[in-house]
Amino acid sequence: MKKNNNDIDDSDSGDYECEIIRDEVTRIFKENPHDYISELEKLGFEYCDDEIDHEELEESLATPQNTNQEYLVSYFDGKIALSDKSIAIFLEERNSATANFPLLRKYFKSANPYLLSLIIDGLERDHLSEELLSDLAFFHGFHNQLSLLIKYYSHACEQQEDLDAFSKLAMDFYDAVLPDGFNAYYALRDLFHSGTDKRKVVDFLIEVAEQAENDAKRDVYF
């Protein structure tokens, strides 16, 4: 999308008008995520089909919408020290029904070091946090953190006593590191002794994964 030049005001009120437009655009993305083009055109924007990165556009327009988000932005900018409060507010916001994902996402994409510190500190406090493990994997997608993923997923698998939860955790671990050529199931097989319940779960997951791989190869040839 681009703004029609005829609608640009060069007067001293230009900054104020730009702020109003930005707020309107943000509102449109929230209220009309599937039909934002026509709504934006009403503001005077012209649609250009040039493979726009919609996520990037959302992120560039994202601003804090409440005090928690303002706190997190200050933390990510290095203006607030890491604390229990920082972790609690981050988890509250990421799990909120009205989470401001574009705002949070841009800090993941920029590999913000304060965000990584928060995730790691949170995992040191709670090795079984599915949210923070998932966030570490997401962060890894933008800046390699393979060694940390292996470390914290391994810790979580060691500590998780519920076998159903352990199975899910192992599968998440496998999916998170497989693109890097690391087979988490083989690593977990070495971690747990033969005959233990966790080892039995891992051996089963290996069988399932190998069968799926063989089926995929067979489909290629036939």
| Residue 68, domain member (yes or no) | no
In a domain, 211, yes or no: no
Would you state the pLDDT for residue 16?
59
Is the model's pLDDT at 13 over the cut of 80? Answer: no
pLDDT score of 81:
97
Kindly give, in sequence order, each residue whose CB lies less than 8 Å from that of residue 95, ignoring residues fewer than 6 positions away: 131
**φ, ψ of residue 77 in degrees (nearest 5):** -85, 0
Looking at residues 18-27, what average pLDDT do you find? 68
Say whether pLDDT at 116 is over 60: yes
User: Taking residues 175-202, what's their average pLDDT?
Assistant: 96
Q: Structure tokens of 129?
A: 């946090």
Instruction: Tell me whether residue 152 is in a domain.
Output: no
Residue 153 domain flag: no
Q: 205 is written with which tokens?
A: 């997951």
b/e map 176-195, b = 16+ CB within 10 Å: bbeeeeeebbebbbeebeee
144-166 average pLDDT score:
97
> Across the chain, how many H-helices and E-strands are there?
12, 2
pLDDT at 11 over 60: no
pLDDT in tens, 70-106: 999 999 999 999 999 999 999 999 999 989 999 999 9
Say how many domains are in the chain: 1
44 part of a folded domain: yes
Each residue of 34-46: pLDDT tens digit?
556 666 666 666 6
Domain that holds residue 31: 2-52
**Mean pLDDT, rounded, for 107-129:** 97
Over pLDDT 90: what percentage of the chain? Answer: 66
Token readout for 184 is: 């988490």
